[in-house]
Structure 1
Amino acid sequence: MAGGANPVKAVLYALGANFAIAVTKYIAAFITNSGSMLAEAVHSTADCGNQLLLLLGMKRAKRPPSPDYPLGFGKETYFWSFIVALMLFSVGGLFSVYEGWHKLHEPEAIKFPLLALGVLGFGIVAESFSTWGCLTEVNKLRGNQTLWQWFRSSRNSELIVILGEDLAALFGLTLAFIAVSITWATGDPIWDALGSIAIGVLLIVVAILVGIEVKALLVGQGVEDTTRAEMVKFLEDQPAVEKVLNLLSLQMGPDAMIAVKARMRPTGTDVALVEGINKTEVAFREAFPQVAFLFFEPDLKD
Structure 2
Amino acid sequence: MKEESPKAIIYALAANFGIAICKFAAAAFTGSGSMFAEAIHSSADCGNQLLLLFGLRQARKPASLLHPMGGGRAIYFYSLLVALLLFFVGGAFSVYEGVHRLIVHEPLQYAYVALVVLGISVVLEALSLWGAIKEIRKTNPDKSLWRWFRETRESELLVVAGEDIAALAGLAIAFVAVLLTMITGNAVYDALGSVAVGLLLMVIAWAVAREVKSMIVGESASPEVRRAIEAHLRARREIRSIINIITMQWGRQVVVAVQAEMIDYPSGRAMVDAINVIEADLQAAFPQVRWVFFEPDVPRG
Asked if TM exceeds 0.5, the reply is yes
CA contact (8 A) 1:35 1:193 kept: yes
CA contact (8 A) 1:7 1:158 kept: no
CA distance in 2, matches of 1:232, 1:152: 21
Equivalent of 2:220, from 215, 219, 222? 222
Deviation at 1:270, TM superposition (A): 2.0
Q: Which residue of 2 aligns with 1:285?
A: 283
CA contact (8 A) 1:134 1:159 kept: yes
Q: Which residue of 1 aligns with 2:118?
A: 120
Q: Within 5 Å, give how 1:1-302 maps onto structure 2.
A: 7-301=5-299
- Give 3-state SS (helix, strand or coil) of 2:102's partner: helix
CA contact (8 A) 1:11 1:55 kept: yes
CA distance in 1, matches of 2:227, 2:209: 27
Identity of aligned residues (%): 46
Deviation at 1:7, TM superposition (A): 4.2
TM-align CA RMSD: 1.4
The C-alpha deviation readout for 1:183-226, integer Å capped at 9, x for no partner, is 11111110000100000000000000000000000111111222
CA distance in 2, matches of 1:214, 1:61: 15
- Give 3-state SS (helix, strand or coil) of 2:237's partner: coil
Q: With structure 1 as the length reference, what TM-score do the two structures score?
A: 0.96
Between 270-279 and 27-36, report the one with greater CA deviation: 270-279
Deviation at 1:143, TM superposition (A): 4.1
- Give 3-state SS (helix, strand or coil) of 2:276's partner: helix
CA distance in 2, matches of 1:225, 1:242: 24
CA distance in 1, matches of 2:24, 2:198: 17
Q: With structure 2 as the length reference, what TM-score do the two structures score?
A: 0.96
Inter-CA distance 7–151: structure 2 relative to 1 (3 Å threshold): farther
Between 224-233 and 163-172, report the one with greater CA deviation: 224-233
Report the count of equivalent residues.
Answer: 300
The C-alpha deviation readout for 1:27-66, integer Å capped at 9, x for no partner, is 1111110000000000000000000000111110110111
CA distance in 2, matches of 1:140, 1:127: 20
Deviation at 1:239, TM superposition (A): 2.6
